[in-house]
Structure 1
């Protein structure tokens, strides 16, 4: 806050009146004009995008970032917990959740195509809902990315235990954070290339797993062949009742967390108007292929109630079928998936904090970029924040993932709700002709948007009634309350400092 205060004193005043955290357009305050001082510009070493970031992500990068964002820890590791809660009905839950995410991404895509701004949906929330909404959305997303990243490194440590059971998990956490943070400091193109290859490995593996699983079912390969009847012969489609089905939604939605990173890539895309629509429109296919088809194969091979929650169901299934070499290969894949997710988490949190700094809602030092257009300070801060993962994996090695995933779900769903609300408000402000002229409009407007917002509220209700997620909801509410307090404290401090500056300014 002291850094923010000093930035204000230097004259980097936002539009909207004294003390208001608002537009990114810098103007000379009255006190600065009287004193003859120059406004301090946000440090930048590259101007390729006009905001310090480098536009070096091409269409291939954007498409694979979109593809990889939905294929991560939630599928490879968290899916075992969702299966345990809902049984085969989890397939229906993923279909419903996937439909909701499609509307979220279409709303975000429409705004990003028309305004590929740094900070993306945090900036959109500020413009259309006000400074407080932008502040809450931006910092909650950064919080979400850190929490999700903690879950991802936790899962990776579990995967490494497949080969090195005697090595403490926290050691893998430390090594992973150091390597991925270093990669993110090189260039945004390095990030894009890493995501491309990480995602390619995941996609090839999932397709091979689906084809291999189908071959096992059809030709009876392995120790036992499994059966399609496993989907309903062990308690039916809803073995734990409607309650179990509903309870699964918290972790189902966690699985889709991170898909909103697409909005942040727009500001560093070579051609966001072409790349964004292509990336967003692949969501339904991803959901059907990578979640529904894959989990259906898993539960056909072995009954849902025999799938352990102690590791990835992908590895467990093939190891149980006697295909130990396949289990090793799949463990390589899930490690790759975790690395991909961690790579995106650090990128997403860093870019959001950079956008916050640009509009005066984070310390000015967070807006500094390297020669290659990388906001290096934000990357370092996020990497440091991940030390929480080291502590949790040291103190709670067996229950860390579920706790972290629950907190991450609250932050994720909050951000999605704000994206939907922002888009709804933005569209309502448009004239009919302007609305019809949007380049990438959402389908089923406005019914689809309203129903999806109601669904997000439903997820919060589910978290409140489920015993293992209630604490996460409390943590989320406390987090938002703390942010509100910080916002108003900063606003008052800014107003006071500007008043002092105007009072002390020499009179002409």
Structure 2
């Protein structure tokens, strides 16, 4: 049974006055995201709270060589986004890589990676809601932490339920604050590095701190790979723009622009900001871990109330990630519902063209995960967190393998839509696959929490894959005469 709304020739819903191709996307969702929304979603998508919160631990583990770790992971993300951009520009859809895997590799692949991605983001909802609640409780201690988590989740759920343009508007401002903050940090930091910032407390040592404390590789070359494991998950979210493009007025243009700009975005926001931290302070300065890398850097410059300034920015990043996480999980659930891989209700849209059931089901699981985080943080929630930890790498791997097959499909069916092309195809695609497999293998070899994340994520992936294969076999047997 087809669960999509009936569409008129121009793309509007049958029986709905004024349905036009510019207001309704082919899958029934409203094309309510403007170009400025997509541009800021693309820019802000690579800036998660992990960049602000987790970078200090990476610096402590690898020293200045953490820059190489960020560069390696950044290159991997650039290649993956180029591949995804090639497919998304040709076939924009809310299911993005899950739909492409379905078409190129088989129903089992689209089902498996779609549900794993949904699982990843609903767990992220709990992580980000809790992180935001911690900051807010510090400002208003009279309101308990669980209440702040509930308030944050309810507000952003209401935003997503209102309309896709509401999500886009919130994300535009959230991402805008992050972009302006990091841009200002890089500019002010570089002025202090060269000793030309008026009133700065920093001695202006130039690039000396990159080598004056044990050299550029104080922990050895192996620390670069350790750093890779610590920073790889802070890049998750780059692919959100390809899901959102399905609800934009000009998907092909939006995807092409986002794909072409990913290099400078990663270069400025990740490499640029970490470079500034490492040049303002010696890498082994205790304040980097104790206060956080950005707060320590701002303190070294003499910025008053640096901790509170960074708390505002981190809260913005948390709310942005939570907002996008709910949007992303719901659109993946919507796509799975359309393909018959999720309950039919997930594929239905309300009068605002919003997939209400898909949103509510995602947020309910997010609420349950928040409850687990408060009730059993070291057992049940730790399992959820670790079992979704390697999903980012699984997603990137599936994108690479899918693109190997989709290139031929696009060339056969609609070659004129191949407006974004992966560089050095297929050699660079295979090289990226090798990089991702190597990182997964090193996580298993490295031991500790990294190994636990891969093992538990593989177990969950295997369970979902078995379900997919059983469903596929059952469907085939039921169609036989």
Mark the CA change 1:58 to 1:431 in structure 2 (over 3 Å): closer, same or farther.
Answer: closer
Q: CA deviation at 1:51?
A: 1.6
CA deviation digits over 1:399-454, x for unaligned, max 9? Answer: x89x8776554101101111111011122456699768721112222221111111
Corresponding residue for 1:94? Answer: 70
Among residues 233, 250, 272, which one is paired with 2:212 in the alignment?
233
Give, in whole Å, the separation in 1 of the partners of 2:73 and 2:338.
33
After superposition, the CA RMSD in angstroms is 3.1
Corresponding residue for 1:21? Answer: none
Corresponding residue for 2:453? Answer: 472
Corresponding residue for 2:441? Answer: 461
- The equivalences for 1:257-268 within 5 A come to 257-268=236-247
Moved more, 170-179 or 413-422: 170-179
2:427 is aligned with 1:447: yes
2:45 is aligned with 1:65: no
- The equivalences for 1:37-436 within 5 A come to 48-160=24-136, 163=139, 169-217=145-193, 218-219=195-196, 221-225=199-203, 227=205, 228-305=207-284, 306-309=286-289, 312-319=292-299, 322-387=302-367, 388-393=369-374, 395-396=376-377, 407-429=387-409
Query: SS state of the match for residue 456, structure 2?
Result: helix
Give, in whole Å, the separation in 2 of the partners of 1:379 and 1:148.
15
CA deviation digits over 1:254-280, x for unaligned, max 9? Answer: 111011112211211110121111111
Q: CA deviation at 1:230?
A: 1.8
Mark the CA change 1:12 to 1:379 in structure 2 (over 3 Å): closer, same or farther.
Answer: closer
Contact 1:153 1:176 in 2 (8 A): yes
> Under a length normalisation based on structure 1, what TM-score does the superposition of the two structures give?
0.83
Contact 1:146 1:346 in 2 (8 A): yes
Query: SS state of the match for residue 459, structure 1?
Result: helix
Contact 2:95 2:336 in 1 (8 A): yes
What is the total number of aligned residue pairs between the two structures?
463
- Gap runs ≥5 in structure 2: 7-12
2:463 is aligned with 1:482: yes
Give, in whole Å, the separation in 2 of the partners of 1:474 and 1:157.
30
Give, in whole Å, the separation in 1 of the partners of 2:337 and 2:85.
23
> Under a length normalisation based on structure 2, what TM-score does the superposition of the two structures give?
0.87
CA deviation digits over 1:90-145, x for unaligned, max 9? Answer: 11111121111111111111111111123121111011101111111111111222
CA deviation digits over 1:342-398, x for unaligned, max 9? Answer: 11111111101100000100011111212111111111111122231343255549x
Mark the CA change 1:407 to 1:259 in structure 2 (over 3 Å): closer, same or farther.
Answer: farther
Contact 1:106 1:441 in 2 (8 A): yes
Give, in whole Å, the separation in 1 of the partners of 2:293 and 2:170.
25
Contact 2:63 2:217 in 1 (8 A): yes
Q: CA deviation at 1:166?
A: 8.5
Query: SS state of the match for residue 342, structure 2?
Result: coil
Contact 1:427 1:435 in 2 (8 A): no
Give, in whole Å, the separation in 2 of the partners of 1:158 and 1:309.
18
Q: CA deviation at 1:73?
A: 1.2
Mark the CA change 1:259 to 1:129 in structure 2 (over 3 Å): closer, same or farther.
Answer: same
Query: SS state of the match for residue 81, structure 1?
Result: helix
CA deviation digits over 1:217-256, x for unaligned, max 9? Answer: 3147444436332222222222222222201212322111
Give, in whole Å, the separation in 1 of the partners of 2:361 and 2:58.
32
Larger Rg: 1
Contact 2:45 2:238 in 1 (8 A): yes
